[in-house]
Structure 1
């Protein structure tokens, strides 16, 4: 096994939880189209790109629209979402994240963000964490969403390390698959019943230590 040189992090559900804002914006859009979506349905959209999420929602509501209208709706949804996330502050950082990042720095490990969100930069700025990453890979830098490995392959490349030297932290099934396809280790944050392919699973980063993770790889 190669020594671990870098930790790569998804954003939503790992560092912050913006799922509620996505849900509120998507639900508003669905309501305007004449149907509703539940929080359970929204869970299935985690880690899925904006256009793919829109397709799933339209199929759920049995609504068919021309491509131009879909682009218009995706843009509108994003505007509503941005209105919500622009109010975020450092208090929105999930419990345990600042302490864990302090340990990562102390251990001399490199860090990268690996998110399909095109708004990742704005969110990091709002919560004051931009400076915590040596590389930021978001939806503006990739052509393929998760479970394609592109986001984590690019992260390793920008850090100057091999994918096999990286540990990826993810809360979504698609993200875990993306990490594994990149050839990295995958640490799941959430339920072990859901994130079955992860090397190890924790409820969150709270009370997790870097040494604990490295010892279990």
Structure 2
């Protein structure tokens, strides 16, 4: 699985960090500010995921999502204003609440020590990734982003977000590697599809907010792990260092 790989590509939200539930809370607060009804967080998540998938070829999928909210709730705000409102609500969570999943940072350090190049390929904005790496004290204490990752890529880098393979194609071109030399670590179906569309092997880490997709994730990934501790144990065993 890791043998003869050179580059390990990690998704961020839901994979390395516990954040999907936070974005559900943010969007629930946003909808309330727009005068919308109180919706279950799972419903908000499922609708957001479906919309982002449908907007994946748009220049900015998240601005289109905000436009959908504006139209749905007849908001007296532009989509740009609504995106700013969403970002303002998220500030506290981004800086003070979101953290790495248990043992994720341990796996990152181990893989780095073994000589792998590590990359973050996320559909979140570069600005938010910068908050994680520069302003979130809990995350900064665990990982030196600049030293750990060869590339940290947000959604602005590409014109088409996952499940389109553009971000992975960019990574391979930038680092001079082929699909068989890469491995993607994901948590969602859209992420798994992006890796497969790029011809790259993909493994899945369980995320609470992707439970309904677990059978399909297991089917479409070369391996499925309940947590990072189990993945770390597998890597050490595979590399003969257990």
TM-score category, normalised to shorter length: 0.7 to 0.9
Following superposition, the deviation at residue 88 of structure 1 comes to 4.4
Following superposition, the deviation at residue 80 of structure 1 comes to 1.3
Which sections of structure 1, spanning at least 5 residues, go unmatched?
none
Moved more, 111-120 or 122-131: 122-131
- Trace 1:1-217 onto structure 2 (pairs within 5 A): 3-32=4-33, 33-44=35-46, 45=48, 48=52, 49-54=61-66, 62-63=72-73, 69-88=78-97, 92-118=99-125, 119-125=128-134, 126=136, 127-128=139-140, 129=143, 130=145, 131-190=147-206, 191=211, 192-195=214-217, 196-209=219-232, 210-211=235-236
Following superposition, the deviation at residue 42 of structure 1 comes to 3.6
Which sections of structure 2, spanning at least 5 residues, go unmatched?
53-60
Equivalent pair of 2:12/2:122 in contact (CA under 8 Å): yes
TM-score (norm 2): 0.75
Distance 1:19 1:213, change over 3 A: farther
Mapped partners of 2:32, 2:82: distance in 1 = 12
TM-score (norm 1): 0.83
